[in-house]
Amino acid sequence: MSPPAFSGNPLDRASYRRVDAAWLAAQQQAGLFLPFWQNRPLLVEDRAGFLPWRGEWQDRLWVFLGLEGAQPYFAIDLPGENEPLLGQGAFQDMRPAAFVLSMRDTAIAGQAKALLDWHKRHSFCSNCGHPTDFADGGHRRVCSRCGAEHFPRTDPVVIMLPVIRNEDGEEECLVGRNLRFPPGLYSAFAGFVEPGESMEEAVRRELREEVNLAVGEVSYYASQPWPFPSSLMLGSYAQALSRDFRIDRQEIEAARWLSRAEVHARLKGQIEDEMKLPATIAIAHHLIGDWARR
């Protein structure tokens, strides 16, 4: 199976060069910019709508994304209540855009969205409350008063699939329905890693809190950048010690064990009912699919 959406970014982020303001200014003149409006990237059919620098963008929020060979890439945020008209393109929400863009463009657009969103949320210093200044092509902000440095944040999130072997020797996995999910959707369980927790500890805590499920070994599967607004999804499997569970009804409203055969059939669309499994852009889809193929 291909890597999850938003991963596989091909850009060299040039971390040692982006600190040079003169170098960045030269890159701007030759750069390609991905415009965003209301957190939506510009799409031209099934491609990210990169455009050359325009003079009217001089005072807009922009960020340096990196180099692909010698070609510099940037993103820029366009303000206003009305959608800007930029040729044949149109602005699209990031989630549906990820279904039509190539893996390369999805990863670059995801990086851009996360960075631009961070700047709009962190224009003031959390240490003293004064305004912060843009630095390093958008990869740092510095307080204008106390000098505190602020860097783009990424929030770690564990997302896990509990599995167990039943009386017949066949493995099953537990999926759940979050109260915020669209109708019929069941997925892996997930939650933010809290301060002082390892990934494995967070997995065990979340499963205990959400479905009162005791688990033993936790094994890492893969990770996924998730720009909503800026998380790193840490996928794993958790060996359940019992099939008994009890949903908390605070976050989870239903859960059920699925056999490998049923997961295979559902992923292939061979079972038509109200139940749905995660979409292909989510790491949960890859986690469940990988388990089913083992």
Residue 120, pLDDT score: 93
**pLDDT score of 3 more than 90:** no
CATH number (3.40.50.2300, 3.90.79.10, 3.40.50.300, 1.10.10.10) of 155-293 reads 3.90.79.10
What is the 3-state secondary structure of the chain? CCCCCCCCCCCECCCCCCCCHHHHHHHHHHCEEEEEECCEEEEECCEECCEECCHHHCCCEEEEEEEECCEEEEEEECCCCCCCCCCCCEECCHHHHHHHCCHHHHHHHHHHHHHHHHHHHCCECCCCCCEEEEEHHHCEEEECCCCCEECCCCEEEEEEEEEEECCCCCEEEEEEEECCCCCCECECEEEECCCCCCHHHHHHHHHHHHHCCCEEEEEEEEEEEECCCCEEEEEEEEEECCCCCCCCCCCEEEEEEEEHHHHHHHHCCCCCCCCECCCCCCHHHHHHHHHHHC
Domain ranges, ordered by start, for the chain: 21-121, 155-293
| CATH class assigned to 21-121 | alpha beta
pLDDT tens per residue, range 216-227: 999 999 999 999
Sequence-ordered list of residues with C-beta below 8 angstroms from that of 189, at least 6 positions apart, any chain = 159, 160, 161, 162, 174, 176, 206, 207, 210, 211, 252
Contacts for 254 with CB less than 8 Å, ≥ 6 apart: 176, 177, 186, 247
Q: What is the pTM of this model?
A: 0.94
Express each pLDDT in 141-154 by its tens digit: 999 999 999 999 99
**In the prediction, which pLDDT does 92 show?**
97
Question: pLDDT tens digits, residue range 199-213?
Answer: 999 999 999 999 999
Whether the domain at 21-121 and the domain at 155-293 fall into the same CATH topology: yes
The bridge status of strand 32-37 relative to strand 71-77 is: parallel
Residue 1 in this model has a pLDDT that exceeds 80: no
- When the pLDDT of each residue in the chain is averaged and rounded to a whole number, the result is 96
Mean pLDDT along residues 104-116:
98
Distance of CA 223 to the CA centre of its chain: 10
> In this predicted model, what pLDDT tens digit does every residue of 136-191 receive, in sequence order?
999 999 999 999 999 999 999 999 999 999 888 899 999 999 999 999 999 999 99
